[in-house]
Amino acid sequence: MIYDPELDLILTRDLDAPRELVYKCWTDPAHLPHWFVPKPHRVTKCELDVRAVGACNTTFDVDGQIMENKGVYLEVIPNEKLVFTDTYTAGWKPAAEPFMTAILTFEDIGNGRTRYTAVARHRSAESAAQHKEMGFFDGWGTVADQLEAYAQSL
């Protein structure tokens, strides 16, 4: 995959959890709320129809502020790759204010470990810079740590 340093923010972590389990944590609505946002924030609603054009909807409570994120999956390769965006919602309805497309890859690196790469691809250099300033690396890094810990608990 070719990355654009002006549009893409990239986080790569080697997680001490098997690839199939990391992928399941991303795709099972029973698991995702346990790790998906930095604590003490929480996921209050989760609808995942994990297939191309399926809904990818989550709702967060961040310090009492409810944040809805509605989108669709663009590409699903079980245990290897997930691509979803908030540019469209179910039925290919354009979003009023799209923010990013996420490209997640899960690589088996042996010994029950997974190389997890998350790319946040933005429509403009300005929105990528805004996401970086919002704390992309700290926030997504914290979430990766929570994902690893949660997967290990299963």
Q: What is the CATH number of the domain that holds 94?
A: 3.30.530.20
Using CA atoms, how far apart are residues 72 and 57, in angstroms rounded to an integer? 8
- What lies within 8 Å, CB to CB, of 73 at 6+ separation is 49, 50, 51, 52, 53, 54, 55, 56, 82, 83, 84
Domain that holds residue 80: 12-153
Asked whether residue 3 is assigned to any structural domain, the reply reads no
Q: How many domains does the chain have?
A: 1
Q: Which residues of the chain have pLDDT under 70?
A: none
pLDDT score of 35:
96
Is pTM, for the whole model, over 0.75?
yes
pLDDT in tens, 96-111: 889 999 999 999 999 9
Q: Are 20 and 128 in contact (CB under 8 A)?
A: no
Asked whether residue 6 is assigned to any structural domain, the reply reads no
Asked whether residue 57 is assigned to any structural domain, the reply reads yes
* Lookup result for tokens 């009492």: 64
